[in-house]
DNA sequence: GATAGTGATTCGAAAATCGAAGCAAGGGAT
DNA sequence: ATCCCTTGCTTCGATTTTCGAATCACTATC
């Protein structure tokens, strides 16, 4: 349970500045991180079920990510599984335009493929 | 120049479904990807300068990412450097709430640290 | 021709991720 | 109590990704 998650105000990979957004980009740019947040925004979920929903992500990485996100105060673990904190919910809301964007991306990718 | 970038409509890591948002989460969850988009949203930038701005990210990964993002039609290369396409600009706009969120995160992290 | 800048590749080393197996704890049910 | 099942989570060897310094091929300028 190491506290090696990026935090705002601390140098992170790719930025000595400590700018908060750089810490966020480091945290979110790790494999499965955004996916975990995405899944938890649907419903609180236990460890093994979370692993199932992410199509068998490795348990060791899941454990590491849950540590990081808990350390970043975006998650908490209760009896009914992992929850987003209010801060974590805000993050998911901040990321929510991604869904609409990705559909536009899909449309344009189809169009481009049709032209090739 | 492999075409191994995630694309909407195709199974990606963690999702066989081909749901566009899953492809987006896979693409964006690779190291440096969001940071590159973030830097390019400020100004078109050449390969070496991009590497400098990201505090010496390795050139091999930069090259791979630029391939992926170009293949995903989010970037193009012109004489004055790499540009976001309109689609890429939309993506950065979709991600822009992250900046405000990260500042809130920083505030709450400070508060929490003060309580400990 | 020499020098310097560019985008990009190579390749051995280091770090991150994978995944199957297993551990310890907590219920039920018998 | 024992057996059985599920849980959150760890271990560890194998695989994949990332690193980073050197280098290539090309262009422009002198």
Report whether pLDDT(B5) > 60. yes
Work out the average pLDDT over B11-22. 78
Give A77's contacts (C-beta < 8 A, 6+ positions apart).
Answer: A66, A70, A83
Which residue, A76, A75, A70, A82, is CA-closest to A46? A82
User: What CA–CA distance (Å, rounded) separates A11 from A20?
Assistant: 10
| Stronger pLDDT, B23 or A4, i.e. the higher one | B23
| Position A6 in a domain | no
Give start and end residues of each alpha helix (H) in chain B: 20-28, 33-42, 47-53, 59-71, 86-95, 97-115
- Decide if B47 is inside a domain: yes
Identify from B58, B76, B101 which residue to disrupt to test chain A contact, counting A C-beta atoms within 10 A and taking the largest count: B101
A66: domain range? 20-115
- B34, part of any domain: yes
Tokens 């004489």 belong to B79
pLDDT at site B112: 77
CB contact under 8 A, A8 and B91: no
Tell me, yes or no, whether B103 lies in a domain: yes
pLDDT of B94 reads 98
Residue A1, domain member (yes or no): no
Computed over its alpha carbons, how large is the radius of gyration of chain A? 16
**Which nucleotide does the CA of B31 lie closest to, via C1'?**
D18
Protein A60 CA to nucleic acid C23 C1', in Å? 14
CA end-to-end span of chain A, whole Å?
50
**Interchain contact A55–B (C-beta under 8 A):** yes
The answer as to whether B33 is a domain residue is: yes
B89 found inside a domain: yes
B13 within a domain of the structure (yes/no): no
* Number of structural domains found in chain B: 1
As a whole number, the mean pLDDT across chain A is 89
pLDDT, tens only, A44-70:
999 999 999 998 799 999 999 999 999
The pLDDT, as a whole number, for residue A9 is 66
Instruction: Specify the CATH number for the domain of residue B31.
Output: 1.10.10.10
Which residues on A lie below 8 Å from B38 (Cβ)?
21, 25
């Amino acid at each position: 349970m190491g506290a090696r998650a990026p935090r705002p105000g601390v140098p992170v990979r790719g930025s000595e500045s400590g700018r908060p957004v750089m810490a966020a980009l480091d945290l979110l740019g790790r494999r499965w991180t955004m996916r975990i947040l995405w899944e938890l925004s649907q419903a609180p979920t236990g460890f093994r079920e979370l692993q199932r929903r992410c199509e068998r992500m490795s348990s060791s990485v899941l454990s590491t990510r849950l540590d990081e996100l808990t350390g970043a105060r975006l998650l908490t673990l209760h009896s009914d599984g992992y929850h987003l904190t209010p801060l974590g919910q805000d993050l998911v809301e901040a990321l929510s335009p991604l869904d609409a964007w990705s559909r536009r991306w899909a449309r344009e990718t189809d169009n481009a493929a049709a032209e090739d």
